[in-house]
Structure 1
């Protein structure tokens, strides 16, 4: 079985995040799952046959077909024994990902589409995979092709699909939460204060935030703080204690412990290796 995969670096774009992409030439009867993911994955079949199970529905698929795995839903797929499939895949998430998938006429209940007009989807995924260097430049390049890929998906979808007010509100709530965190990460911010600011319950905020971004609000707060701490640590005029205070930690020990947990290095070691 031949397989290659390209994963994203740490670059995060709130609207749309590239996770990974790859290509697999499956062996006879190869299967994956049942498993749930925290992001969307689109598999595009180049050749061969197989089956995809989503909930209680079973789909027999072949070249030109594609299937979407939605976040937090159990999925299972298996290559045909006599003619195993060869497919490409791309994984992504973000605040606008559910809206994009909906606009393309796709969902947990309708996870299949077919396209055999040209090699657009194949070329797009292979182009994403061609950017292998870990840098902001390559992350942005991959993301640009992901936007083109999803734009095409919407273009070929039935034109009757519309976004409900409910879904638009969810997007607005999550974007408001992210914006608030990005501006106030250095303060005494909590999930409760975040929910109060937006005007929704804590439980509802946690649910829609996790569905949109694949992480809880508190995880996003900590991640934002650590990303900014990495930036501040490159400024040698700031002490570790001052960096801790700048990202919302009054206790340097607590900050250092959290930094090592998230980044994998203690602040002083990170500083010595990032000038």
Structure 2
């Protein structure tokens, strides 16, 4: 088995960056090829394509093979060594930045849980190869390309790690579900979305979602979404006087201007036109 090693660095360098991919590489290692024990000052993600070996952290030792990934955290004493008979062939990338730790945590990685297993069809090997290709081109656009690939890999890792983590209790699960619903409505209110579409997107039964949402917020999802839209419309009426009532209605996802005006009066006690005239000079409090 012939040894090979190749690495490509990011052509763009920033002194301080929220998230920055430093370099990427690939190697067919030799038998008993070892790195460490040592400490790195950046995150280093490996994906094993062939062979076997051991990865040791300050907490435990992992025996890893094809399809396994391991993430080295900065400041952690680690070592890893290829098997004497079937040495590793792997790809890797290094990244850092002020947001790197938070993203890694959101993905489910930690010094105590640094390993994930890729399933068939995983995007991780191809993403690592894509980062190398982007960096080899020498173009500054490779920096942005590498960030896209990194997000894809961390997104897949989040699905793998959280699927195998301990299921939360009912209370925490309900709160998380309601937060998902609120986030969905807050980001989609400007579109003609429906509660049915939201339930389908989140993968839950409408009756269940409606019940737990009202238990947590005191409002049904339909009422919450409508009040959210009216609240957003009030802001537009105050801050964008050049917009017509019809344009304001459309901007908050209500394409029927007459329906919008009726609902606005229901919640605010006056028409949108009267509200704009009266409140232009007043401080405003939110409905929600």
- TM (normalized to structure 1)? 0.55
Instruction: Map 1:47-196; keep pairs closer than 5 Å.
Output: 47-131=50-134, 132-158=136-162
Structure 1: any 5+ residue segments left out of the alignment?
A: 163-275
Q: Mark the CA change 1:58 to 1:156 in structure 2 (over 3 Å): closer, same or farther.
A: closer
- Alpha-carbon displacement from aligned partner over 1:210-266 (angstroms, at most 9, x marks no partner): xxxxxxxxxxxxxxxxxxxxxxxxxxxxxxxxxxxxxxxxxxxxxxxxxxxxxxxxx
SS at match of 1:71: coil
Matching residue of 1:263: none
Matching residue of 1:37: 40
Contact map agreement 2:117 2:160 (CA 8 A) in 1:
no
Shift of 1:144: 2.0
Q: Which has the larger radius of gyration?
A: 2
Aligned pairs, how many? 162
Structure 2: any 5+ residue segments left out of the alignment?
A: 173-288
- Alpha-carbon displacement from aligned partner over 1:117-157 (angstroms, at most 9, x marks no partner): 21411100101111213332222222222222222222333
Structure 1 residue 2 and structure 2 residue 4: aligned?
yes
Shift of 1:98: 0.9
- Alpha-carbon displacement from aligned partner over 1:191-210 (angstroms, at most 9, x marks no partner): xxxxxxxxxxxxxxxxxxxx
Following the alignment from structure 2 to structure 1, what is the Cα–Cα distance between the partners of residues 117 and 156? Answer: 12
SS at match of 2:40: coil
Structure 1 residue 14 and structure 2 residue 2: aligned?
no
CA RMSD of aligned residues (A): 1.9
Following the alignment from structure 1 to structure 2, what is the Cα–Cα distance between the partners of residues 19 and 108? Answer: 21
Following the alignment from structure 1 to structure 2, what is the Cα–Cα distance between the partners of residues 83 and 7? Answer: 28
- Alpha-carbon displacement from aligned partner over 1:27-69 (angstroms, at most 9, x marks no partner): 1111111111111011111111000110141111111111110
Following the alignment from structure 1 to structure 2, what is the Cα–Cα distance between the partners of residues 105 and 147? Answer: 13
Following the alignment from structure 2 to structure 1, what is the Cα–Cα distance between the partners of residues 138 and 118? Answer: 31
Following the alignment from structure 1 to structure 2, what is the Cα–Cα distance between the partners of residues 119 and 110? Answer: 20
